[in-house]
Amino acid sequence: MFKILKPGFFTSVQDQGRFGYRDKGVPVSGAMDAISASRANRLLENDPRSALLEITMTGPEIEFEAHTCICLSGAKFSAKVNEEPIGNDKVIRIQKGDKLSFGKLEQGFRAYLGIKGGVQEETVLGSKSFYFPLTKRSSLKAHTEIDFEPSDFVPKISEMKIEGFLSSKIIEVQKGPEFDLLNQSQLTQLFAEPFTVSKENNRMAYQLNEYLDGHTMKMLTSATLPGTVQLTPAGRLIILMKDGQTTGGYPRILQLTNTSICVLAQKKFGDTIKFKWA
């Protein structure tokens, strides 16, 4: 097992997500940046459904109580094992008693810590992804202990070279169900200039600082998905994310591609994005 000595800002267990329950109001959940999470699992030759730790903004401090291999992917922190710097997208061997720590966030917003064999956590509705109150907790706290199976794994490929993903500002989108209700002025505002991520951003939704022209559209509450872009009557854009609501009453004007959900998940307050047709 390993022990959480310091939890960081928001560290949770996530996997691919929880499917087949949206009609009951249960979000998909799962890794916000599924591409980075998948890369960590691939390097460790894990089952793609294996659970990892999702680390947001500031990282935890972890002590391992058994030998294994780990892999970090996604956001770049100045991470260290026993004060020795380690890089992203590399398989790192861990011995009993080793301590993993995270320093300054250098790029991106969310990192993924994969462990050989995956994190052993309670499965709820087919997924280990945290989503309170469906699961017992929303994030990991200090002194929490998490199980994994010790491993003498020797990787076939020990490292990947990834360029450009974290720095991308382009959010590719498709038309949402109510896209055709937008007027020309709103369309121009939507695609002409960049938007800035507001302070209101989390696993449920990202809001943007800039507003479009307001509207008086009325609609019945309708189904939504991760990546659905809603337009409020005041003209604010709300982009639903992995823990987002399953229905909503605002016009659904755009839908992010799966890759763009991952790109947006690596943005923090003050970062800019620009919408582009997929």
Ordered alpha helix ranges (H), the chain: 34-43, 184-192, 258-265
DSSP state of 261: H
Percent of the chain, pLDDT > 70? 100
Is 59 a residue whose pLDDT tops 90?
A: yes
Give the bridge partners for 86, in sequence order: none
Count the Cβ atoms, other than its own, within 10 Å of residue 25: 10
Higher per-residue pLDDT: 17 or 218: 17
Give the bridge partners for 236, in sequence order: 211
CATH number for domain 170-277, candidates 1.10.3720.10, 3.20.20.70, 2.40.100.10, 2.160.20.60: 2.40.100.10
For the chain, the straight-line distance linking the first and the last C-alpha, in angstroms and rounded, comes to 43
pLDDT at 177: 96
Q: Where in the chain are the domains?
A: 2-146, 170-277
Report the run of H or E that residue 249 belongs to, with start and end: none
pLDDT digits (tens, 9 = 90+) for 193-218: 999 999 999 999 999 999 999 998 88
Average of per-residue pLDDT values in the chain: 96
How far apart are the C-alpha atoms of 41 and 176, rounded to whole Å? Answer: 32
pTM: 0.95
| Crossing angle (nearest 10°) for helices 258-265 and 34-43 | 90
pLDDT at 262: 97
Is 164 a residue whose pLDDT tops 90?
A: no
pLDDT at 163: 73
pLDDT at 218: 84
Residue (of 92, 124, 105) closest to 13 by Cα position: 124
Is 85 a residue whose pLDDT tops 90?
A: yes
Contacts of 43 (CB under 8 A, 6+ apart): 71, 73, 89, 90, 91, 114, 155, 157, 158, 159, 160
